[in-house]
Amino acid sequence: MQYSFLNSRIPLLSHFQERMVVSKTPSINRFLTVNANQITHMSSVDRQIMANAIRILSADAVQQANSGHPGAPMGMADIAEVLWSDFFNHNPADPKWPNRDRFILSNGHGSMLIYSLLHLSGYDVSLDDVKNFRQLHSKTPGHPEYGYTPGIETTTGPLGQGIANAVGMAIAEQKYAAEFNTAEHALVDHFTYVFMGDGCMMEGVSHEACSLAGTLGLGKLVAFWDDNGISIDGEVGGWFTDDTQGRFEAYGWQVIADVDGHDAASISAAVKAARADQRRPTLICCKTVIGKGSPSKEGSESCHGAPLGQDELALVRERLDWSAEPFHVPADVYQAWDAKTAGQTKQAEWQAMFDAYAAAHPDNAKEFERRIQGHLPANWAKDAAKIVADTNTAAATLATRKSSLNALNDFGPLLKELIGGSADLAGSNYTIWSGSEGISRDNKGGNYVYFGVREFAMAAICNGLSLYGGLIPYAGTFLVFSDYMRNGMRMSALMKQPVIYVLTHDSIGLGEDGPTHQPVEHCASLRLIPNMSLWRPCDAVESVVSWKVAIENQSQPSSLVFSRQNLPHQERTDRQIADIERGGYILRDCEGEPSLILIATGSEVALAMDSVSKLEDKGERVRVVSMPCTDLFDAQDAAYKSDVLPLSCERRIALEAGSSDYWYKYVGLRGAVIGMTSFGESAPADQLFVHFGFTVENVVSTAAGLV
């Protein structure tokens, strides 16, 4: 079989580059004394002019949009030029080439930096696209957005998450290298480069992620800190005086300090030192001047988040000796920047290596290809259906968190791409399945990440794992602590990344740990995130189906919400089992048209079922609807939804041990909700359910009050 990845459009892995001999912590001084004329550069155009092309394009685009951040692109232009000209391995003609280097602009407000780089080096980002900066439906939105622009690896803007995404990508690179590389074929061999500013350094998520990166020894992660001392509010000395160098050294990073971010020789030497030490991630501390080239505004907050102005832009052109009109780049500068030929050559070399690899290791090559194409195993549908059927036959009464573990134990052996972890709650989340193998500095090919108490970083790192391609990441914590990682979960949804969130201890059923640990508003809150699919299963069968659907869902994240307490098995027909995947279905029906519909999720489905006989004694014709996934139910056609929830029956009660307000969209003005309108209390779970009205008696009383 011929495997061809040339001009592919499938996401994933890394790039072709020379194999480097890892030295034992080479002397930094040796690298920092490299002479400027020793730097390899193929262009006859002065590299300062190449950097100035970034400065001018960025300033012109921000000025035309009358909105944006010119300071960061102008300040980091020299660093970007050295990295992209001398080290960065990529192919503009195929932005999804598996073995490319990854480049992440964590300080995403400086988006014109990466748009300039993409345009100049030959990606499908035209000059018109640059001129259309920050306009509706452009390829150049205000912050880099995954899926909009060829060459953008992740959406950045919320500071600190870009570096955390990069940690995930670096974990993925080393995992794939450990799994697929041989002594003869370095199939996966690339670096992940990150630009980050002072704001990224301040955000807590960067502390979480970088600490873990050091512990794991992610030696092919290289971060450049734009140390310009300026943020939107002014000089950062009033609020940011950390010993950043000492902090990263304590994390276990190689730190290259005091690099002149405007001197090509110093930058190049630092990158070489970073690439040579592959036992540690590297932080390159670059002293820069924000807005460099702006005579009146460089070095101050005035160029951070606003256009320079036409008069100042004229002075920039004068200072940089740039005579070209706005949005014009001289032909020789374009030629100097053009990376298409070199990129195609590198990819062709990698393709030849892959072909040789496929001949020598056909099974591994097929597996590699399957994963990067995002395909599930060939027998997935058959095997998954059997797992669901076997779960139904077992008819177990279990906490759904335990049912989730059973699902992992069943699905895990089928999915070599499954990778997950927990924020120090594995013993409670049940996220460690029988085939889990911890990732560490010395075991790079594992499939389980011990994230520690780092919920936010966990979500952002899982986004990076997903964006890398060919992996199915899952992340576990208590539902109540989803608050800590909420913005990372939002970014999963914004980028449509199929990260699976395993969220246990789902309600007041947590019990004695009290209201600090009892989620009330969390399900409703997560349901409100666009593109987020939330499941709250009522038993083992719905739990395994939720995992199955989440694994198959390639276009959005899933939040799987599981109980601490045991929940009884519900009897179903084959048709009902199939309908679980529609998000809501009739679990128990009555003869004729219902006079009352009970809609429930999770633990409250059992309450609804227990209430039926008492309601029937009162003369009610009761239908019980289990709705484990509201967004999937909402996506069904009108006919199915009206079959489940007929408009003719307005007497409806929704039951969920969470915020009440969400459910009025289903019960309407004549219906009622038995839910939570306050925080919980500390007491045994069974007492709490009685205290808050989750009883058969209250269901019957509530029904009696409906007209």
Residues taking part in catalysis: 455
Query: Angle, to 10 degrees, between the axis of helix 603-617 and the axis of helix 696-704?
Result: 60
d(CA 261, CA 270): 10
d(CA 193, CA 80): 11
User: Per residue, what are the HEC states of 463-482?
Assistant: HHHHHHCCCEEEEEEEHHHH
Pairing of strands 234-235, 230-231: antiparallel
d(CA 274, CA 261): 15
- Return the amino acid letter for 373: Q
Burial group, residue 48, by CB count within 10 angstroms (0-12, 13-18, 19+): middle
Distance of CA 471 to the CA centre of its chain: 12
d(CA 68, CA 595): 58
Handedness of CA 641, 645, 646, 650 (dihedral sign): negative
Q: What own/partner pairs with CB < 8 Å and gap ≥ 24 does 148-152 have?
A: 149/115, 149/118, 149/125, 150/95, 150/118, 150/123, 150/124, 150/125, 151/90, 151/92, 151/95, 151/103, 151/114, 151/118, 151/123, 151/125, 152/114, 152/118
Contact present, 342 and 92 (Cβ < 8 Å): no
Q: Coil, strand, or helix at residue 619?
A: coil
Buried b (16+ CB within 10 A) or exposed e, 75-100: bbbbbbbbbbbbbbbbbbbbbbbbbb
Count, residues in the chain:
707
Partner residues linked to 558 by β-bridges: 500, 533
Contact present, 139 and 76 (Cβ < 8 Å): no
d(CA 508, CA 518): 5
Pairing of strands 234-235, 418-422: unpaired
Partner residues linked to 533 by β-bridges: 558
d(CA 144, CA 291): 20
**CA angle (302 as vertex; 299, 307 as ends), nearest 5:** 115
Contact present, 372 and 469 (Cβ < 8 Å): yes
